[in-house]
Amino acid sequence: MLHLGVNIDHVATLRQARYAQMPDSINAEPLILEAARECEAAGAHSITVHLRADRRHIVDTDVFLLKKELSVQLNLEMGNTPEIVEIALRVRPDFVCLVPENRQEITTEGGLDVTAHAAALKETTSRLKTNVTRVSYFVDPVLEDIHACADCGADMVELHTGTFANSFGKEREAEVQRLCAAAELAHSLGLQVNAGHGLTTQNVRDLFAVPYLAELNIGHHLVSRAITIGLRESVREMLVVMGGYGG
């Protein structure tokens, strides 16, 4: 069964629009934990949050609270920086996804250059795994980087589907083939295959050609749909569509 991880960063973005200086205030809304519980109730298999260096949406207390209160797994997206690594070691999320981080971007754009940063990634991966946290790398479907993920000791890869989501026709078909090749290689190397970025109920069926997918991580679309139909229903809607994946 294809699992769904729900990224609730944009719930925190809305909170920070008014309560950036006091995110833990009794008045600060929407509540991150309440949103996570709505996703749980709908059948989500994990909750994803990205703790950025500038704390633009998720803040430290969110991460500790979610780890304490969630019934499903917590996936912490993070850049490979000393401060955030130390927080991850304290939180001990169920798994982390190491991502590139650019202060100018609104959301994570593009995958890690694993080959270029192999030594640093390998060290962080070892520390996290010793701390009983599984490690994923967010990568473009580039075969060289898939090999590097395995060499660095990653447990999983999350294939970046942004190019897939923003292409159509022949271009999308070509990107699906790249994703298929990357998934095949990752699976052969013993890596769990996840995917995410830009996925919607409208385009995710085109991704079903990709083999060995274990989990999709989706945020923006689900929070956007929640404005009109509610978060619980938005997650349920996606899970229905994902039920058509054959593996």
Residues involved in catalysis:
50, 77, 197
154 burial level (CB within 10 Å; 0-12, 13-18, 19+): buried
Nearest C-alpha neighbor of 42 from the set 240, 225, 203, 245:
240
Sorted by sequence, the CB contacts under 8 Å of residue 26 that are 6+ apart come out as: none
Nearest C-alpha neighbor of 180 from the set 201, 206, 156:
206
What is the spatial distance between Cα 183 and Cα 201, in angstroms, rounded to a whole number?
21
The strand pair at 73-78 and 213-218 is best described as unpaired
Nearest C-alpha neighbor of 88 from the set 110, 109, 66:
66
* Amino acid, single-letter form, for residue 112: L
